[in-house]
Amino acid sequence: MKERELIQCLSSMAVGAKEEALLCGIGDDCAVVRSGEGRVLLYSMDTLQEGVHFDLSWHPLKQLGRKSVTVNVSDIAAMGGRPKYFLFSLGIPPGFADARALQLSEGVVEACALYDCQLIGGDTVASPAGLSLTLTVIGEAREGQVVYRHGAQLGDIVYVSGPLGLSAAGLALFQAGEGDLAGFSRLYRAHCDPLAQVALGQRLAKSGLVNAMMDLSDGLATDLAHLCARSGLGARIFRHALPLDDECEQAAALLGRESLEWMISGGEDYALLLTAPKDAKQQLLALGEQAGQTLYPLGEMVQGAGVELVDAEGYARSVSYRGFDHFS
């Protein structure tokens, strides 16, 4: 059973009466629950597991602590909310020294301060193998401003709010043993210590210009395919529109890889993926700048289903759910 399939299965089995206050359950970045006075609460839960999501041989613990908060806060940002509280369950493997647990904790506490949210509970347990960090983040938003995955409209422009593939490139450097990260500080930071775009998410939500939004955690090809499926549309994105990054290109050259693969399939970008009507373009670009981010228009929402990547010659191929192995 693939990741998330079991949760979907659980969801379909849960046939109990749906609470009226539950505006959105499983299937978006957060669950959305009405809380009165025009406000909603947002809930997201994510686990980071050693050996699956991180490797302690290169991931500093403090940065890992920060990242565990960031990946959850990014889900709140993607709905246009602000984080308020979180709960933290830590699985500690045998022989994991107290000093290391404290370094990790310092990172968690720093991220709390950074995102202005507060640890209100949790659990620590012995883990038979591998460090495990599960967080539940609780956020808040105005009901009328929440942006879902399912709202994309035909003809909408598709944007990402930052460069793509940097985290994947950083990971590839680590995996190749390229420990000397001089000249690759952006890739290093993107992989080990990303930031959630909370301020931008809130501005976008407040603007009322955005029809659909989610965060980029599983790679553009997969995440955009989810957004398409939820919106009942397809998307066409253009290779020439994908934002190139110097460090990413240099890493690709160094490793004999193609940066395009990282940009399309690489996960953990933690930028925002959004769609908005064509006539909102200038306003949106300005709004991105005000929040210190660049919005890159990549293509548009079209009739059909799935994600197509169009190359310089106009040739389109399906990349839905990263359904390819190599680019020619």
Site of interaction with its own copies (CB under 8 A): 1, 3-7, 9-11, 13-14, 16, 18-19, 22, 25-26, 30-31, 33, 35-37, 41, 43-47, 49-53, 84-85, 87-92, 98, 101-102, 105-106, 108-109, 112-113, 116, 118-130, 132, 134, 136, 138
Q: Which residue, 134 or 293, has its beta carbon nearer to its own copies?
A: 134
Going by their DSSP bridges, the two strands 157-160 and 234-238 should be labelled as unpaired
Write the burial class of residue 230 (CB in 10 Å: 0-12 exposed, 13-18 middle, 19+ buried).
Answer: middle
Query: Which two structure tokens, joined as six digits, stand for 90?
Result: 């830590």
208 and 216 in contact (C-beta within 8 Å)?
A: no
Which is nearer to its own copies, 135 or 309 (by Cβ)?
135
Residue closer to its own copies (CB basis): 31 or 152: 31
Nearer to its own copies, 9 or 286 (CB): 9
Nearer to its own copies by Cβ, of 48 and 237: the residue is 48
- Nearest approach, Cβ of residue 95 and its own copies (Å): 12
How far is residue 266's CA from residue 169's CA, in Å, rounded to a whole number? 8
154-187 in b/e form (b: 16+ CB < 10 A) is: eebbbbbbbbbbbbbbbbbbbeeeeeebeebebb
User: Which residue, 17 or 182, has its beta carbon nearer to its own copies?
Assistant: 17
Backbone conformation region of residue 122, classed left if phi is above 0, alpha if psi is from -120 to 50, else beta:
left
Half-sphere exposure of 164 (CA within 13 A, CB side): 30
Instruction: Output the smallest distance, CB 239 to its own copies, in A.
Output: 32
CB of 118 vs its own copies, minimal distance in Å: 6
Closest distance of CB 322 from its own copies, Å? 18
Q: Which residues does 269 contact at the CB level (< 8 Å), separation at least 6?
A: 160, 162, 163, 164, 165, 166, 167, 190, 194, 216, 217, 219, 220
Q: How near is the Cβ of 117 to its own copies at its closest, in Å?
A: 8
* Residue 217 vs 259, nearer CB to its own copies: 217
Residue with tokens 């909370």: 198
For the bound state, the minimum distance from the C-beta of residue 34 to its own copies, rounded and expressed in Å, comes to: 11
| Residue (49 or 250) nearer to its own copies, CB | 49
Question: What's the closest the beta carbon of residue 79 comes to its own copies, in angstroms?
Answer: 12
CB of residue 172 vs its own copies: minimum separation in angstroms?
20
The residue (of 108 and 302) whose beta carbon lies closer to its own copies is: 108
Token digits for 287? 């709004």
Question: Checking DSSP bridges between strand 316-318 and strand 296-302, what pairing results, if any?
Answer: unpaired
Q: Which two tokens stand for residue 225?
A: 């395919």
Cβ 215 to its own copies, closest distance in Å?
14
- Rounded Cα distance, 296 and 106, in Å: 34
Q: What 8-state DSSP symbol labels residue 66?
A: H
